[in-house]
Structure 1
Amino acid sequence: MLHKIRMAISAADGINPLSGNVQAGLILYGRQVKQYDSASSRPQSAQSVSKLPVIIGASYDRIDNLVHLKMKIVPANHMNGHHLLRSGKQHFISRWGHSGMLEQNICAKRFIFYRNRALIDIVRTATAWINRTFHGIGRRYLQLYFDEFCFRHHFKHRPQEAFNQLASFCICFSSNRDLSLKAA
């Protein structure tokens, strides 16, 4: 049941693009895990399971209050090492940004958070929530949990509105089987 609710949240998330003044940047989610050769108990080559690249985007109103938040996993074909390619920026804008959003609004290297301390707090809160609540999530379902976190963050001070919106998402999602989950 919770999986279906998360899928409804994710499907509905694609309908509401970031608008207004948008700032976005690349973060690396997770931690570096070395793989060991079972025979020698030595780390294998420099190849290790890498952190997942994620774009965190936020739209702000005229007085710089956070209005909307999105955290989206970046497909591997849009990355060059730890650098977001131009195609990755275009992919993010076309799926989750507004038509006037510029590529310059997205930082291609690891996001420079000292420019926006609120976003680093949001990233830390999201990571702590996922690890505390679910003890870590694999890549397969991580996007659903990012979308849930963003939904919770958006409605954290308006629980009744959140419930109404969630009920609306679930009804819409269950009545329209063709509504697809926009996978990253």
Structure 2
Amino acid sequence: MDQLSLDQFQDRFYSEDVCVDYLFQAKWPNGFICPKCSHRHFYKVTTRRLPLYECAQCHHQTSIIVDTIMEGSRTTLQKWFTAIFLASHPSINAIELKDIINVTYKTAWLVLHKIRCAMSTSDSSNLLSGMVQVHDACYGRPYNPYSQPHPEEHYLLVGTSLNEQKEPTYIKMKLLMEAPRVKWISTAEKMSFAERHIEAEGSNIEFMTERLKPRRLKFGYPYFKKASQWINESFHGIGVRHLRAYLDEFCYRVNQKLNQTPVFQSLIQSCTSTKKISYKSLKEKGKRVRYAHMIGLYW
């Protein structure tokens, strides 16, 4: 699916019914399960835009998009599928998406951020493990250890799981809310990163404590540079408000490819297992992040 062109993909999902069937398999890969009583048999009600599935035992009715990022959306499944397909490739923004699927900019922006939310949720359930290297990085401006901190400098930690050949198998980039006059990331903050994102048992963690240590020894650094380049080229740079979501998006695609997992199929699964989030919630979350950054809080 990842190798298809956009035209080929749209030919594959040429109707709402085709999308419904595919989404049914993604939501219930082992067959229908009633969310209320776990019964396996259902009646299909087709009097609405999207079918309802009525449990044959308790008669509870559920929709194919309930408890997914698409819940409550009036956007067609064909448009959602096209957006998810394009989001599985690192080259789409809301301005481009709105023209492709013929929606408003607000709808395109919301659809992409809901997809990013699914990516972030998926990432949170996977911890770094085994041989793990962690190093610091700074997005936004070229690092200068002798200058005063700048509001456009956004500090983050890059964690990389490595195999026995020291090849990356999973990466995470987590933004920190850096205090205004601090030009480094403390040991306490690195320990906090380890507690939240690295398996406690059996992991061998190496912290790259020297900022000027050769970058060739930092196995996650090439990915950080690619992420920065992608953000700058695709979105012309972004502020701290939604930077975390864009970093999670980049890492999601990289991790699927490192594990040789088809990105579109994996992303559909993530979208069906992530609960909805509203436009208002996304905006308020962005405002909280920006305010925290201004007063020097961390997360």
Residue 6 of structure 1: how far off its partner (Å): 0.2
Q: Deviation at 1:50?
A: 4.6
Match of 2:162 in 1: 60
Please say if residues 83 and 108 of structure 1, whose CA atoms lie closer than 8 Å, have aligned partners that are also in contact. Answer: no
Tell me the CA shift for residue 82 of structure 1.
Answer: 1.9
Task: Name the structure where strand makes up a greater proportion of residues.
Answer: 1
Residue in 2 that maps onto 1:21: 131
Matched length: 164
The structure 2 residue matched to 1:95, chosen from 191, 196, 209, is 196
Corresponding residue number in structure 1 for 2:216: 114
> What's the offset of the Cα at 1:132?
0.3
Q: Which 5+ residue runs of structure 1 have no aligned equivalent?
A: 33-45
- Residue by residue over 1:2-48, the C-alpha shift from the partner in whole angstroms, topping out at 9 and shown as x without a partner, is 1001011111211100011100101111117xxxxxxxxxxxxx664
Q: How far does residue 80 in structure 1 lie from its aligned partner after superposition?
A: 7.0
Corresponding residue for residue 116 of structure 2:
6
- Cα deviation for residue 86 of structure 1 reads 2.2
Q: Is the 8 A contact 1:82 1:109 kept in 2?
A: no
In structure 2, how many angstroms separate the alpha carbons of the residues matched to 1:107 and 1:176? 36
Q: Which residue in the other structure is 2:174 paired with?
A: 72
Unaligned runs of 5+ in 2: 1-110, 143-147, 279-284, 290-298
CA distance in 1, matches of 2:153, 2:162: 28
| TM-score, structure 1 as length reference | 0.77
Match of 2:256 among 132, 147, 155: 155
Query: The residue matched to 2:241 in structure 1 has which SS?
Result: helix
1:49 partner SS: coil
Residues 24, 57 of structure 1: 8 Å contact kept: yes
Rate the CA distance shift 1:71–1:48 in 2: closer, same or farther, 3 A: closer
Deviation at 1:64, TM superposition (A): 1.6
Return 15-24 or 57-66, whichever deviates more.
Answer: 57-66
Per the alignment, residue 68 of structure 2 pairs with: none
Determine the C-alpha separation between the residues in 2 that align with 1:67 and 1:3.
Answer: 26
Question: How far is the alpha carbon of 1:169 from its aligned partner?
Answer: 1.1
**Deviation sequence 1:54-103 (CA, Å, 0-9, x none):** 101100112222100100012336x971222222012101111110446x
Shift of 1:109: 4.5
Q: In the superposition, relative to structure 1, how do residues 47 and 24 fare at CA in structure 2: closer, same or farther (>3 Å)?
A: closer
Q: Which has the larger radius of gyration?
A: 2
Which residue of 2 is the match for residue 39 of structure 1? none
Which of structures 1 and 2 has the larger relative contact order (alpha carbons within 8 angstroms, sep 6+)?
1
Q: Which moved more, 1:86-95 or 1:136-145?
A: 86-95
4+ long deviations beyond 4 Å:
157-160
Q: 2:170–2:258: 8 Å Cα contact kept in structure 1?
A: no
Kept in 2, the 8 Å contact 1:26–1:84? The answer is: yes
SS in 2 for 1:62: coil
Say if 2:114 and 2:277, in contact at 8 Å, map to a contact too: no
Segment drifting more, 59-68 vs 127-136: 59-68
Distance of 2:252 and 2:188 partners within structure 1: 27
Q: Which whole-Å CA distance do the structure 1 matches of 2:260 and 2:200 have between them? A: 31
Distance 1:49 1:142 in 2: 14
Going from structure 1 to structure 2, the CA distance change for 1:110 and 1:9 (only over 3 Å counts) comes to: same
Relative distance call for 1:19 and 1:148 in structure 2 (3 A) is same
Q: Which residue of 1 aligns with 2:140?
A: 30
Percent of aligned pairs sharing the same letter? 29
Report the CA distance between 1:176 and its aligned residue.
10
2:212, 2:125 → 1: CA distance?
25
